[in-house]
Copies of this chain bind each other. A is one copy, B any other.
Amino acid sequence: MTVVQQLIDDGRLTDPGSAKGRLLAAAAQLFKHKGYERTTVRDLASEIGIQSGSLFHHYPSKEAILKAVMEETIVRNTALMQAGLSQAESPRDKVLALIRCELQSILGETGEAMSVLVYEWRSLKPDSQQHILALRDIYEQLWLDTLAEARAAGMVQTDPFILRRFLTGALSWTTNWYKADGEISIEQLALDALTLAVK
């Protein structure tokens, strides 16, 4: 968790204990379960125990909250992925590290925010999409580089672009069916997903 703590200290991530941080967590949860459009600012406000008008003291619009949820998610997950990658050595371990890391993001505590990132894209204004896309590119490049390395090592036949996109879908979809209290662990799921990607 030191990676995340460092981001908070650097001001690149909102402290989850602060008012803004609690708002973002509540927003991620509500946006995931009800959808952005069906979530009203009154829902958001009552979730953290303030009046709807007070929300606009923290963010200028509902859309800005959505954007913040997405931005924080990418920033955090990019850092986590870089940390995960730095501890892996073989191409296989690197791919596994990425899969494990993305699954943890999707299915762990911050899963709601990750889900929002995937499913509420249309609700962002074009400006905001542009901004998030730039951040997402950094994140995706980590994937593409790693898959290219695995391909160079002969472990993967499929084009990295296509493979990454299949994996994006396969992994993000887990949010719709995986139950943490079920029989299968995230680690096992990651291994299963790995067999999709490499031989």
Hey, which bits of chain A sit against chain B, CB under 8 A?
33-35, 37-38, 119, 122-123, 157-159, 162-163, 165-174, 177, 184, 189, 192-193, 195-197, 199
Known A37-B35, A37-B38, A122-B38; judge A165-B177 contact (CB<8 A): yes
Across the interface, do A172 and B169 meet the contact criterion of CB distance under 8 Å? yes
Across the interface, do A158 and B195 meet the contact criterion of CB distance under 8 Å? yes
A38 to B125, CA, bound (A): 13
A34 to B121, CA, bound (A): 10
A184 to B33, CA, bound (A): 35
Partner of A162, one of B163, B165, B184: B184
Can you report 5 residue pairs joining A to B where beta carbons are below 8 Å apart? A35-B123, A162-B189, A166-B192, A169-B169, A196-B196
Instruction: Report B-chain residues with C-beta under 8 Å of the C-beta of A174.
Output: 165, 169
Instruction: Report B-chain residues with C-beta under 8 Å of the C-beta of A197.
Output: 196
Q: Which residue of B lies closest to A38 (CB)?
A: B37
Instruction: Report B-chain residues with C-beta under 8 Å of the C-beta of A158.
Output: 192, 195-196
Partner of A166, one of B37, B119, B122, B173: B173
A165 to B197, CA, bound (A): 15
